Chain A
Amino acid sequence: MLLKTLAGAANRKARFTEVNHLASLRRAVRVYGTLQYIKPDTLIMTEGAPRKAIYRIVGGRLFVNRARRGVSVGRYPSVIAMVSGFEGLLSGNYALLTHDFTTRLQGNRKAWRLLLRPRLAALKKALISVAITGHGTQLTQITTRAPNGDSSDMYILP
């Protein structure tokens, strides 16, 4: 139901703020930029600060800036989680979500929370959970937790 609602929405573009707490760094990392989703499988993340960079994720491959050769997102568990979450929700492709994660949906259409937990051992080593919250057709926050205490909170601005 939720997926249908979200999938009905057109291509989107939104600003975001991401706050990462990493065990290896003394201070939190704040990333600002825009997110753009183009159906069916392209996600473009434009980082404005602290560095200027463009990440394009097309069909499971990550292209940094103007690179012609991408790397498989399989190397970055948190990216897999985010991409699966985004694309699964926005394209209505529920299979994409359930392939790598067990899912739990809480709340109602107005205010919902989708909790993803990795199925595969390899993913479990790098990721505890990804929680995606939203209001109606709007994604508002993606929270990622890693076993080593690292965490990431991405706020998507309307």
Chain B
Amino acid sequence: MNARPWAFVVTTAWLAVLAILTGFIMDTARFGGSLTAFLPRSGSIVQRALVRGLHKGAASRLLLLAIRGGTGAQRTKASRALARRLRRDTTNFTLIANNGRAMARGLEGFLFHNRYLLAPRTSWTVSALHADLRRDLAILESPAGLSASEVVRDPTGALMAAAGAWRGVRGPRSRHGVWVSHDGREALLLVKTRSSGFSVGPQRRALDLIHAAFARTLHHAPLSLEIGGTGAITVAANDKVAASAKRLTIIDLILVAGILGFVYRSGPPLVVSLVPLVTGAVVAAAVIDLAFPRLAITTLGFGTMLIGVTMDYPAYVLLHVRPGEGVARAARRVTRALGLAMIAMVIGFSTMMTSHLAGLVQLGVFAAVGLAAAAIAARFILPLMIPAWRPTADLSVWDDRAARFCAGLRRVRAVVVVVALAAVGVLWQRGGLVWDDHLSALSPASHTLMRATGRLSRAFGVPGLSSLVVVTAAHREQALAASAALRPVLARLRRERVLAGYQLAAQYLPSVATQRRRVRALPASAILRRRLRRAAAGMPFRLRAFQGFVSAVAQARHARLLRPADLPAAVRAQMGGLLMRIHGRGVAFVHLSGVRNASRVAQAVRASGVAGVHYVVVKRAVGRLMARYRAALMRHALIAGALMAVVIAIGLRSVREAARLVLPMAAAIVTTCAILVMTGPGLTLLNLVALLLIAGLGMGYALFLGEHGLIIDRRPLAPWVCAATTITGFGVMASAPVAMLRTVGVTVSLGAFLALIFTAAWSWGRAPRATRAP
């Protein structure tokens, strides 16, 4: 039988299938980015609203631009040219503003046209009108009287009252008609993207477009552009992770290839070592793509990490190849052990599918499908790819060394027990404080960019997403009315300097009920004329001059009441993040800024008696969401662990053997946790996922080190090789400059090391058989 063409065909077919699947995923998958996408879709309406608000909120879509260097005139010119260029692109950007005029575009006409719906006035008595007319007369009789002819068009000052909410949203100070920073050394622009600030792809495109447009406006002026905002942070964080992951992967590959190269002494086994992992990841992603509306990037990341255990499968197969034996036979011999490990883990991870957290369900499906696919690839496809490979080096010396080392470790079992107990003690003593649930604990964004964004946000008066009031109601209209009811409370808090400011939808758009009340208060034309005549008694007004006013009021009496969709684009953009429909319910957000005393705000909001109102400190609330997710994952991990133990006990048909296998692994996980808690700020979600990987790795080590009759002619070297590659690979990651990668690297390399040592201490006691020696 000529094996080579056959191997070539299998390899080609396998590559083709993977390529097709990858193409299919790329073509159809809708990727959901960011951790917020991973947060629960269930849970209370407030939590869901918060997630949506964080994700889709208007504030997240703002990019803040600062032009530096050059002279003031150059910056002004660049600001104008940049704004002009970007305004042409309406598919990516919804708002480009570099001065107050841009923000107020379409606003003045809107305010004037709807002034009687927007102004809070409801009193139209003779005495109220008289007071208005006295003020108007004073203006007309002043030296500016000639410019004040509009006072007779709007004698009650409705336009000014309607514009009340808009005063102060002009943004930063202006010089030569463009926004500048406080010290005047930067020209500032505000850009709003159509896509969410957490979507990496569209945000990168937006940033590229802005940079390209800026480059074209330069004309050799020595200017630089800084961009802040959620989108910029998202992209920078993503790039940072990608860049350092790329660098580390190359180092990783070299080191791991060095280890495996030393063991195999040939090339093909190195290449096929990737077969199970790649197969698992691609198949799992394809299944998620088919079964779920959206493939969370987090699922891809965490999931690939969980099935990273399958990197060990090729080593377990190839190192068991005996001289004169085909790879397929060796694979057959380790099938039962590999199969048991795989089935135990698949059953374990499947419990995640029963979770009510969408992200966790996805992760469970991904891990279960990926593991099964990877194991099948290792067992059936890999031997076909290199059917005739046989070890060229005699590794029995190393086998003996590994066995002797295991024997040495067996003698210090007592130490392991003491360490594990101490670890349990540490965790017990820390209690609930072992977790660090801040979202920022996982954020890889640079602090410089975060600070720049904070600085620019303050310059623009963009409310920081630090604390807000969430108002939920049956529909948007009700939420709007309820949030409006909070205004007196908020105004009082601001007067008492408990908070610096607030922003809410009701400021820009009164509820329909309020508008109706105002319209009902408007007098009919005949009545208004009569009242005007009486109010103007003793004043030199020509009543004819008020004709425009009288007909405007008459028109307003039958005006269609305003809904969010009626607002001009700039206003809608401003308000979009403040009033939303989420899962069929109306949600209004009130952004608070400069909160000095959170508990007083909470108390005042509670005491307001407005239904469906919740005060939320975002950091804390997100922490709670993370904690919820983490707790659910923890619960499922424990159930998964228990199930794995049961499956192994059934597979080995011995509770005692199963205990020898599972307990050292559990001890390794507990010890890893304790070390991490003692040396770091606390455990995060990432640590937890990494620990699940350790469980999988440890099970492999235990199965291949223990004696249970599942594997005929065992090679004790195999787990040591696997552990060496894992510890090296993740050890390199532990040196990453990005906290996220470092966490995973440290946890997995430490855990894998402990798992190996602990399981080896309970390994099978007899010396390896001599039959393997030639």
Contact = CB atoms under 8 A, between A and B. Distances in A.
A23 B140 contact: no
Nearest to A79: B144
B541 A24 contact: yes
B144 A146 contact: no
B148 interface: yes
Contact of A31 (B143, B149, B540, B542): B143
A148 B540 contact: no
B541 A25 contact: yes
A150 B149 contact: yes
Nearest to B153: A24
Contact of A144 (B146, B542, B545): B146
Interface stretch (A47-55, A85-93, A94-102, A133-141): A47-55
A23 B141 contact: no
Contacts of A18: 143
Contacts of A78: 144, 146-147
A27 B540 contact: yes
A24 B633 CA distance: 75
B147 A75 contact: yes
A81 B589 CA distance: 46
A77 B147 contact: yes
Main SS class of interface, A: mixed
Interface string A51-63: 1010100000010
Nearest to A154: B143
B143 A25 contact: no
A84 interface: no
Nearest to B150: A126
B565 interface: no
A36 interface: no
B581 to A, nearest CB: 39
B369 to A, nearest CB: 66
A26 B541 contact: yes
A45 B141 CA distance: 14
A25 B140 contact: yes
Interface string B137-161: 0101111111111001000000000
A114 interface: no
Contacts of B140: 22, 24-25, 29
Contacts, number: 65
Contact of B149 (A26, A50, A148): A148
A5 to B, nearest CB: 26
Nearest to A77: B147
Contacts of A31: 141-143
A50 B141 contact: yes
Contact of B141 (A29, A55, A75, A146): A29
Select the residue from B141, B148, B542 with max chain A CB neighbours within 10 A: B141
A22 B151 CA distance: 12
Interface in B142-182: 142-149, 152
B540 A51 contact: no
A22 B146 contact: yes
Interface in A4-44: 18, 20, 22-27, 29, 31
A50 B145 CA distance: 13
Contacts of B542: 23-26
Given A31-B141, A51-B141, A25 B540 contact: yes
Given A24-B545, A25-B542, A47 B146 contact: no
Contact of B540 (A26, A126, A152): A26
Contact of A47 (B142, B147, B149, B545): B142
15 contacts: A20-B145, A20-B146, A22-B140, A23-B542, A23-B545, A25-B140, A29-B141, A31-B141, A45-B143, A51-B141, A62-B144, A75-B147, A76-B147, A79-B147, A152-B146
Interface of A: 18, 20, 22-27, 29, 31, 45, 47, 50-51, 53, 55, 62, 75-79, 126, 144, 146, 148, 150-152
What are the 6 A-B residue pairs with the smallest beta carbon separation, nearest first? A24-B545, A76-B147, A78-B146, A78-B147, A24-B152, A26-B540
Given A77-B147, A79-B144, A126-B149, 11 more contacts: A18-B143, A20-B145, A23-B149, A24-B140, A50-B141, A55-B142, A55-B143, A62-B144, A78-B144, A79-B147, A146-B149
